[in-house]
Structure 1
């Protein structure tokens, strides 16, 4: 995102855990793991807008002994610390990337909008919901504007987590039980996320608003897998298993959430972003998935 902001003429400071060199040759500022004690004063000096992307998405090892506390430490307490220091430094706008998961794990036959009820269902989504509320509460007593963005699955060739695993499985050509699925999944390409966040940084009407976003197209898991395979120049082998058997197997293995992600529906209506901000995705889901598959294979 730093590269895109600079290309658009904005001065930008990127903060990471470890120092890295970006494609434009610029180095990021390394602060290590963020916490409630992180000192942001030097970083925030002269900054007009903060885009907060950092967060804890997965927990493993000793941290798994107290999952909620681990998520809260980074996603809630560290965020509160950053918000408070941003207010003290007179930052004009704070853009927070939350998760569509604050509205639940599935949408069934409906579309999730900004008006949908909050149904956080996991330690991670509870922490994102709590961070949203803390941002709004603190900003309400200051001059700082807030923007909250709730994306569904963000995909790209170098995406981490479950999408990375799916790319690896498709690349290896393993047979998958995804034939004939009729579920509908909204996703959002990394390129579209970056473009929308840039819009949120500058658009007057984004002030003090929450947005759910997506590519604007819903695909079944069958279509997602076959499109990724197409980008890799492969033909994916899919077969059919009765849904009840898959659901029972997932329950026995303790993988109910994985079952929901692969076989359930999660549809997002990003109409507010289009109507209020005039935003349009810069890449379609089909083209984004083909690109992700092609670039993953190239790595």
Structure 2
């Protein structure tokens, strides 16, 4: 059993990771911006940045899993770098000073895109790429540094694009994506949590470190995702085979390039190195995870609707 600090524990991924660590009998310390009187092991550290005081949170900690960061909203470039870059540097320095053995940084596949083409990447991707250097610096100072680059992480309570996709799947409208055969890597929040627990435990035992892409084993298409979501919601598929070229042209005319990229383009990862180094096997298939996401989303929507009707 280890004492593990999780930053950003109240976020989407943190809400799933903390129970996964507890099941493995680790002592979890949580850190975030604001106090939580209901959580005795939660330590408020204020804003994440170059001046954050981590000393209390890092007391007697064996490993740190750093999830906290700026994402999923519009912000100035300087703000992304203050939180994701300078904030991670401050944490890595504090970890070294406190004698922490393992520092894991949850990065993003956006960092890979920034690495390949900095000029066309966004501030988020560049700031996540910058944050990775601090985990490598921590490793050079004698600890174990693990950097994970996931793609879209999904689950019924996920924010951002996945929430919008679930909302789209839950509509009764026929959708024009039946002919979309793109190739997308994704990662269920259950698989990601399992991967983080597995690799941190291995690193505490002296095995593994470096930068890894992590994802579900399967590469899927938008049409498959929508079919599985609607199956989980106990709905008919109702996907119309509209030609992809027609949808791409319509998106360009409407100025929706980002939407086209998110829905219709390819984006694949290679998790084979992570699987090999940590002897990891994803505990659930993409089909199982997407269907369950749809099922839970529909169930929660029903609860919300009943509450609204009764108010």
TM-score by length of 1: 0.87
Q: Is contact 1:184–1:264 with CA below 8 Å preserved after alignment?
A: yes
1:55 to 69, 74, 97: 69
Equivalent position of 2:240 in the other structure? 239
Equivalent position of 1:277 in the other structure? 278
Moved more, 154-163 or 197-206: 197-206
Q: Is contact 2:208–2:277 with CA below 8 Å preserved after alignment?
A: no
Equivalent position of 1:35 in the other structure? 49
Equivalent position of 1:187 in the other structure? 186
Q: Is contact 2:104–2:147 with CA below 8 Å preserved after alignment?
A: yes
Q: Alpha-carbon deviation of 1:139?
A: 3.7
Q: Alpha-carbon deviation of 1:224?
A: 0.3
Question: Mapping of 1:65-84 within 5 angstroms?
Answer: 67-84=76-93
1:173/1:29 CA distance change after superposition, 3 Å: farther
Matched, 1:123 2:123: yes
1:15 to 31, 39, 43: 31
Question: 1:76-108 CA distances to partner (integer Å, 9 max, x unpaired)?
Answer: 111111111111111111001111122239xxx
Distance in 1, matches of 2:109 and 2:48, equals 23
Distance in 2, matches of 1:162 and 1:104, equals 18
Question: Mapping of 1:57-206 within 5 angstroms?
Answer: 57-60=71-74, 63=75, 67-104=76-113, 118-119=116-117, 121-140=121-140, 142-204=141-203, 206=207
Distance in 2, matches of 1:56 and 1:14, equals 18
Distance in 2, matches of 1:208 and 1:84, equals 18
Q: Is contact 2:179–2:244 with CA below 8 Å preserved after alignment?
A: no
Distance in 2, matches of 1:188 and 1:21, equals 32
Distance in 2, matches of 1:17 and 1:252, equals 42
Divergent runs of 4+, >6 A: none
Q: Alpha-carbon deviation of 1:280?
A: 0.2
- Structure of greater relative contact order (alpha carbons < 8 Å, 6+ residues apart): 1
Q: Alpha-carbon deviation of 1:273?
A: 1.8
Give the unaligned 5+ runs of structure 2.
1-16, 301-311
Q: Is contact 1:102–1:119 with CA below 8 Å preserved after alignment?
A: no
Q: Alpha-carbon deviation of 1:251?
A: 2.7
- Alignment length (residue pairs): 280
Distance in 2, matches of 1:190 and 1:231, equals 17
Q: Alpha-carbon deviation of 1:209?
A: 1.5
- Give SS of 2:28's match: coil
Question: 1:236-258 CA distances to partner (integer Å, 9 max, x unpaired)?
Answer: 32223333332233234332122
Distance in 2, matches of 1:132 and 1:148, equals 7
Equivalent position of 1:287 in the other structure? 288
Q: Is contact 1:2–1:13 with CA below 8 Å preserved after alignment?
A: no
1:231/1:81 CA distance change after superposition, 3 Å: same
Distance in 2, matches of 1:235 and 1:43, equals 49
TM-score by length of 2: 0.83
